[in-house]
Structure 1
Amino acid sequence: MLPPRIVRRLILAPLVIVLTVVAVVTLPVWLLVVTAASLRLPPPQRRGTRLVWFAVAWLTLESMALVACLWLWIAGGLGGRLSRDEQQERHYALVRWVLAGVYGAAVRIFRLSVEIDEPPSTPEEVSRRLTRPVIVLSRHAGPGDSVLLVHHLLTLYGRRPRIVMKAALQLDPSLDVMINRLPNAFVPREVSASGVVAEIHRLASDMDADDALVIFPEGGNFTPKRRWRAILRLERKGLAEEAARARGLEHLMAPHPNGAIAAIEACPAADVVFVAHTGLDDLVTIGDVWRKLPVRAEIRAKWWRVRAEDVPREREAQIGWLFDQWEKIDAWIAENRSAPVSPA
């Protein structure tokens, strides 16, 4: 159970600012501690200092975002005008700035490089870039994939992302404040699957040409155990064909189709964009990051668009079509997972 919003605003938000000040003041101590803790690792893998620098950068951005949100709240008539278009644009600009800072810190500290294979820039593709809403269906694996995806949607493609997220993420104060002021949804754990689908339908129903609804159909980060659970869930439901196709996926979990179908039904004019990526797939937990973070963090991604008029409209055809696209992503990951990546 999350603490009430007023408690999060009056306690968690100031606490982050205090922690930021403490972290900056005590930074030399933390660097010495993690350097000593990393001595057991071979020299190229001594990543403790990098993690500390990134944590301080993250906290600093969090605190600056909270101060900016307070200013926007005051400028918005103590919250009375936050739903107006100009205030919404200011908050999107703030999210864009924060994510650009996180991305820039990752590039400098972790030597992050991202290579994106985009569709050819044909006249039709260029004309659809910001003239139609899009539903983005992405795999879910590795740390920060959603952060990177939203960053690129905002910065490279000029989109305004809408996302359905776990309610626990509201324990991050800046995320709690910024995202709750924009058309997104935080879903508590106790909410049923139909409740999640209803939120997706709500967010998709009023999208404009520059909006993008982001969905992760797998429902969570990929792990082998979760992959088998997804297969067993399909078998228990008597969905033998879907279970058989899920068994053929080596790097993905079986997609949950209801959310994607609800979004397509709510916004039939939207193109559908599929996103595949690989590079940090094995880093799921904090322990994984500590033990396995490479000297150079390299991510390769590919996306393609399916025009709204080419999207199937009957449910059974949509499920088969979604599995077709997931098999395409799985094959792409198998081909590119160990391939060298050139810095973007």
Structure 2
Amino acid sequence: MLPPRIVRRLVLAPLVIVLTVVAVLTLPIWLLVVTAASLRLPPPQRRGTRLVWFAVAWLTLESMALCACLWLWVANGLGGRINRDEYQERHYELIQWLLSKIYEAAVRIFRLSVEIDEPPPTSDEISRRLTRPVIVLSRHAGPGDSFLLVHHLLARYGRRPRIVMKAALQFDPSLDVVINRLPNAFVPRKVAESGILTEIRRLSADMDADDALVIFPEGGNFTPRRRWRAILRLEQKGLAEEAARARKLEHLMAPRPNGAIAAIEACPEADVVFVAHTGLDDLVTLGDIWRRLPLSAKIKAKWWRIQAADVPRDREDQIRWLFDQWEEIDTWIAENQPAPAPAT
């Protein structure tokens, strides 16, 4: 159960700063421990050492972001002017800085590379890129895919992302503070679907030209077990056509259409962007990361954009259209997915 906000502010946020100081001071000890634990692994891998370096870098950046949040809170009149545009922009800049530094740390420590296949920009696309909002529908698999997506929306495309996230992510103090000051939504684990759809409509309805609502229609990270559960759920609801189409998806779970449709209905002028990606699909748990983290991490992604005028408006057509796009993503993943890293 999530602690009240006042507890998170007065306990969890300072705790991160204390942990950062302790981690930095005891770094040599942790490196010795993980080096000993990694002796069974091939010498080039050194997964434990890399994970420790990244954890310390993450904690340090978290602490710096929390200090910046405190300064912004004081600077805007102890929170009194937090909703003004200039302070909203400062918080978006802070998120971009934080994610950029985390991305740079991942590039150095894990040799991460991201290759994005995007449509060649036509003159019309360039002129419209920041003149209307977009709804981004992405698959959900692998560690940190949502962080990478938000990072690229901010840094590469100049978008201001809005996301509906699990409430448990508020255990991360910097996310808790910054995200709650911006147009986003945290939803409890057992909240009714109607509550999630209400938040999606709220975030979609007032989007400006440079906003982007991010939705993961699968509802969670892909696993084979969740894939079969999604198929069974469709069959139990009597949705035979959708269940049959879901069975043909090898790398994705069946999309849940209600969130995407709610966003489109609330913001009909928005274009819709579909995002496919692959590269770290087999790294789901901490155990997977420890056993299978490759020496070099490479993520491939592809996105395409559907203009608002070409988005179906009838609900049944929208569901079929969404499954069409999901089948295209599944085919792309099959053609671009790397061989699974061997466990050691």
TM category (shorter chain) comes to over 0.9
Separation in structure 2 between the aligned mates of residue 46 and residue 228 of structure 1, nearest angstrom: 35
Q: Residue in 1 aligned with 2:143? A: 143
Q: Residue in 2 aligned with 1:342? A: none
Q: Residue in 1 aligned with 2:11? A: 11
**Residue aligned with 2:44, SS:** helix
Decide which moves more: 124-133 or 65-74: 124-133
Separation in structure 1 between the aligned mates of residue 44 and residue 325 of structure 2, nearest angstrom: 38
Q: Residue in 1 aligned with 2:285? A: 285
Separation in structure 2 between the aligned mates of residue 41 and residue 228 of structure 1, nearest angstrom: 34
Is 1:305 aligned with 2:312? Answer: no
**Residue aligned with 1:102, SS:** helix
Q: CA deviation at 1:217?
A: 0.2
Separation in structure 2 between the aligned mates of residue 22 and residue 161 of structure 1, nearest angstrom: 34
**Residue aligned with 2:249, SS:** coil
Alignment of 1:142-181 (within 5 A): 142-181=142-181
Q: CA deviation at 1:46?
A: 2.4
**Residue aligned with 1:44, SS:** coil
Q: Give the residue type in structure 1 aligned to 2:43.
A: P
Separation in structure 1 between the aligned mates of residue 42 and residue 58 of structure 2, nearest angstrom: 27
Q: Residue in 2 aligned with 1:240? A: 240
Q: Residue in 2 aligned with 1:251? A: 251
Q: CA deviation at 1:42?
A: 1.8
Q: Residue in 2 aligned with 1:206? A: 206
Q: Residue in 1 aligned with 2:79? A: 79
Q: Residue in 2 aligned with 1:33? A: 33
Is 1:327 aligned with 2:308? Answer: no
Q: CA deviation at 1:190?
A: 2.3
Q: Give the residue type in structure 2 aligned to 1:98.
A: L
Is 1:88 aligned with 2:88? Answer: yes
Q: CA deviation at 1:168?
A: 0.5
Is 1:107 aligned with 2:107? Answer: yes
Describe the superposition over 1:278-303 as per-residue Cα deviations: whole angstroms up to 9, x where unpaired. Answer: 00000001111000000000000000
- Gaps in structure 2 of 5+ consecutive residues: 340-344
Q: CA deviation at 1:121?
A: 1.1
> Taking structure 2 as the reference length, what is the TM-score of the superposition?
0.98
Separation in structure 1 between the aligned mates of residue 86 and residue 224 of structure 2, nearest angstrom: 45
Q: Give the residue type in structure 1 aligned to 2:76.
A: G
Q: CA deviation at 1:338?
A: 2.4
Separation in structure 2 between the aligned mates of residue 258 and residue 141 of structure 1, nearest angstrom: 20
Across the aligned residues of Structure 1 and Structure 2, the Cα RMSD in angstroms comes to: 0.7
Describe the superposition over 1:254-313 as per-residue Cα deviations: whole angstroms up to 9, x where unpaired. Answer: 000000000000000000000000000000011110000000000000000000000000
Is 1:47 aligned with 2:50? Answer: no
Separation in structure 1 between the aligned mates of residue 45 and residue 70 of structure 2, nearest angstrom: 40
Q: Residue in 1 aligned with 2:65? A: 65
Q: Give the residue type in structure 2 aligned to 1:30.
A: W
Describe the superposition over 1:82-113 as per-residue Cα deviations: whole angstroms up to 9, x where unpaired. Answer: 00000000000000000000000000000000
Separation in structure 1 between the aligned mates of residue 246 and residue 124 of structure 2, nearest angstrom: 34
Separation in structure 2 between the aligned mates of residue 46 and residue 62 of structure 1, nearest angstrom: 24
Q: CA deviation at 1:248?
A: 0.3
Q: Residue in 1 aligned with 2:186? A: 186
Separation in structure 2 between the aligned mates of residue 164 and residue 52 of structure 1, nearest angstrom: 30
Q: CA deviation at 1:149?
A: 0.1
**Residue aligned with 2:195, SS:** helix
Percent identity (aligned) = 83
Q: CA deviation at 1:237?
A: 0.1
Decide which moves more: 38-47 or 226-235: 38-47
> Taking structure 1 as the reference length, what is the TM-score of the superposition?
0.98
**Residue aligned with 2:338, SS:** coil
Is 1:97 aligned with 2:97? Answer: yes
Separation in structure 1 between the aligned mates of residue 132 and residue 30 of structure 2, nearest angstrom: 48
Separation in structure 2 between the aligned mates of residue 3 and residue 280 of structure 1, nearest angstrom: 32
Q: Give the residue type in structure 1 aligned to 2:26.
A: T
Aligned length: 339
Separation in structure 1 between the aligned mates of residue 138 and residue 170 of structure 2, nearest angstrom: 22
Separation in structure 1 between the aligned mates of residue 21 and residue 149 of structure 2, nearest angstrom: 30
Decide which moves more: 36-45 or 75-84: 36-45
Separation in structure 1 between the aligned mates of residue 324 and residue 182 of structure 2, nearest angstrom: 33
Q: Residue in 2 aligned with 1:124? A: 124
Decide which moves more: 272-281 or 121-130: 121-130
Describe the superposition over 1:19-44 as per-residue Cα deviations: whole angstroms up to 9, x where unpaired. Answer: 00000000000000000000011223
Q: Give the residue type in structure 2 aligned to 1:167.
A: A
Separation in structure 1 between the aligned mates of residue 296 and residue 249 of structure 2, nearest angstrom: 28
